[in-house]
């Protein structure tokens, strides 16, 4: 490692760290990025949890399992006969691994093209903006920079009463690597990760029980959307039990018994495998040395201001290791912002318009305020909805579940929130994000021409419906 002095050192090459490093290099700065991710086979890879054990591999398995499910349930309606449909988990896993490898190698190539010095090992911030690098062979060295960006990410939270064993009780990464379909799968947590992973293995034939401690399903989402989604998940066979607080487990000849309590008292359920998906926590293990001036809050997050500056001079922190939603795209935008601020450019992240997506079927996506949020403010509002059942494109796709919902202020017509449950919701939400970014009105969406027939017309019609002017549905 000949270079020891840089303009910027980024610790972590996940979805926050690697965009930060690349943008800083694009801005003409001398940049190093340190990353310690190791795969189960001991090989190093860039991209963090997202590319290696989260966003990308989960979407690969979601796609494979959905195609299998559609072949079983939908193809006949199209006049397509495929005989007895079968699947091969090993092939699905090989495909997933290939996609992951292409993604992580892509980051390495991007570093090379941008001129970022990529360093494999553990990075630890020391006083004076020095960074100690511990290589995989244990050797230590020091490098220094004018600016240091902490992007160490997050790790799964563990339930003390149901500890991970890496085989039968696993985290999200372990649930992505099952070599066979469990007969009975218990999922603790009905959040994004729990629902997505539960959907994968349910489609492939597992009996899936989801235990959620909250009484309210998807409390963070608009509740009209949450209720619609829950209805479809139950139709798919996901056994979602709300208000179920897991207190422990017992191992036996027939598998694992999860013990929990709900409103009616103590209960138990027997499963073969358990996925604990109760959330993630910031990863700061051996990240900070003595005298750095960087502080953690009561939840373990690195304290930062709205521009991701820590309390230490020229030390920044971004992504899952700081406050805000643990979303890859949120981290990416923070990384780009910080790289631009370091270069003296004007940049910001609009935290009010960060979209959320759950890649189940139907997909769920939203941006802005929920109807519950708006009610609490007391601001007068109006709501427009449009069911995908009334969409010609959705009917042609055999994907009519769900609806699009637009919430707008009645005083100035500003769009306050958009919520979608239905086909390709994760793609459709982008238009809504753009609308909120520019403080668009309901009328702006109404006057925007949407191609026909498209799923995006649902957003157009929902905006029209907010004013009782929908064309393709009755205005009740």
Q: Which is nearest to 421 in space by CA: 324, 356, 473?
A: 356
pLDDT at 1 over 70: no
Q: Using CA atoms, how far apart are residues 311 and 313, in angstroms rounded to an integer?
A: 7
Q: Largest Cα–Cα distance of the chain, in whole Å?
A: 71
Q: What pLDDT, in 10s, does the model give residues 279-337?
A: 999 999 999 999 999 999 999 999 999 999 999 999 999 999 999 999 999 999 999 99
Percent of the chain clearing pLDDT 70 (strictly above): 100
Catalytic residue flag (residue 460): no
Q: What is the pLDDT of residue 234?
A: 97
Q: Using CA atoms, how far apart are residues 442 and 406, in angstroms rounded to an integer?
A: 8
Q: Active-site residue among 44, 122, 452, 460?
A: 452
pLDDT at 54 over 70: yes
Q: What is the pLDDT of residue 258?
A: 98
Q: What pLDDT, in 10s, does the model give residues 195-219?
A: 999 999 999 999 999 999 999 999 9
* Domains defined for the chain, CATH in brackets: 5-156+281-349 (3.50.50.60), 169-278 (3.50.50.60), 353-465 (3.30.390.30)
Q: What is the pLDDT of residue 60?
A: 98
Question: 55-73 and 192-203 are packed helices; what angle lies between their axes, rounded to 10 degrees?
Answer: 40
Q: What is the pLDDT of residue 396?
A: 97
Q: What pLDDT, in 10s, does the model give residues 360-388?
A: 999 999 999 999 999 999 999 999 999 99
pLDDT at 41 over 70: yes
Q: What is the pLDDT of residue 2?
A: 56
Compute CA distances 444 → 82, 380, 418, 435, whole Å: 46, 19, 14, 8
Q: What pLDDT, in 10s, does the model give residues 85-126?
A: 999 999 999 999 999 999 999 999 999 999 999 999 999 999
Q: What angle do CA 328, 330, 334 make, to 5 degrees?
A: 115
Average pLDDT, the chain: 97
- Joined together, the tokens standing for residue 201 give 């293995």
């Amino acid at each position: 490692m000949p270079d020891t002095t840089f303009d910027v050192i980024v610790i972590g090459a996940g979805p926050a760290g690697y965009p930060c490093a690349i943008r800083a290099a694009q801005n003409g700065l001398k940049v190093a990025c340190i990353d310690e991710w190791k795969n189960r086979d001991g090989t190093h890879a860039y991209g963090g949890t997202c590319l290696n054990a989260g966003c990308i591999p989960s979407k690969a398995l979601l796609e494979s399992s959905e195609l299998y499910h559609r072949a079983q349930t939908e193809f006949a309606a199209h006049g397509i006969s495929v005989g007895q449909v079968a699947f091969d988990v090993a092939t699905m896993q090989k495909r997933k691994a290939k996609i992951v490898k292409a993604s992580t190698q892509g980051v390495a190539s991007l570093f090379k093209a941008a001129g970022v010095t990529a360093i494999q090992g553990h990075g630890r911030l020391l006083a004076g903006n020095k960074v100690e690098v511990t290589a995989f062979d244990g050797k230590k060295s020091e490098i220094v920079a004018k600016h240091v960006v902490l992007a160490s990410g997050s790790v799964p939270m563990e339930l003390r009463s149901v500890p991970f064993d890496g085989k039968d009780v696993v985290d999200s990464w372990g649930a992505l690597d099952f070599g066979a379909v469990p007969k009975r799968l218990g999922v603790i947590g009905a959040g994004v990760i729990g629902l997505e992973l539960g959907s994968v293995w349910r489609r492939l034939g597992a009996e899936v029980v989801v235990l959620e401690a909250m009484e309210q399903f998807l409390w963070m989402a608009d509740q009209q959307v949450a209720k619609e989604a829950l209805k479809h998940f139950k139709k798919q066979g996901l056994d979602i039990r709300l208000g179920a607080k897991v207190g422990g487990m017992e191992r036996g000849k027939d598998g694992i018994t999860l013990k929990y309590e709900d409103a009616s008292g103590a209960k138990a359920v027997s499963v073969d495998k358990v996925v604990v998906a109760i959330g993630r926590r910031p990863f700061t293990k051996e990240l900070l040395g003595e005298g750095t001036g960087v502080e953690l809050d009561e939840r373990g997050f690195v304290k930062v201001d709205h521009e991701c500056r820590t309390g230490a001079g020229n030390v920044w922190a971004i992504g899952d290791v700081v406050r805000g939603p643990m979303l890859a795209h949120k981290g990416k935008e923070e990384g780009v912002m910080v790289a631009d601020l370091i270069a003296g450019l004007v940049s910001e992240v609009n935290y009010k318009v960060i979209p959320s997506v759950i890649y189940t079927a139907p997909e769920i996506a939203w941006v802005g305020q929920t109807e519950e949020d708006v009610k609490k403010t007391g601001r007068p509002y109006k709501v427009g909805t449009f069911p995908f059942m009334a969409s010609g494109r959705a009917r042609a796709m055999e994907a009519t579940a769900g609806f699009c919902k637009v919430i707008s202020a009645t005083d100035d017509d500003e769009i306050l929130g958009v919520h979608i449950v239905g086909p390709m919701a994760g793609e459709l939400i982008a238009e809504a994000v753009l609308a909120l970014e520019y403080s668009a009105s309901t009328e702006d969406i109404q006057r925007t021409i949407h191609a026909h027939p498209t799923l995006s017309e649902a957003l157009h019609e929902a905006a029209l419906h907010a004013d009782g002017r929908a064309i393709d549905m009755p205005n009740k």
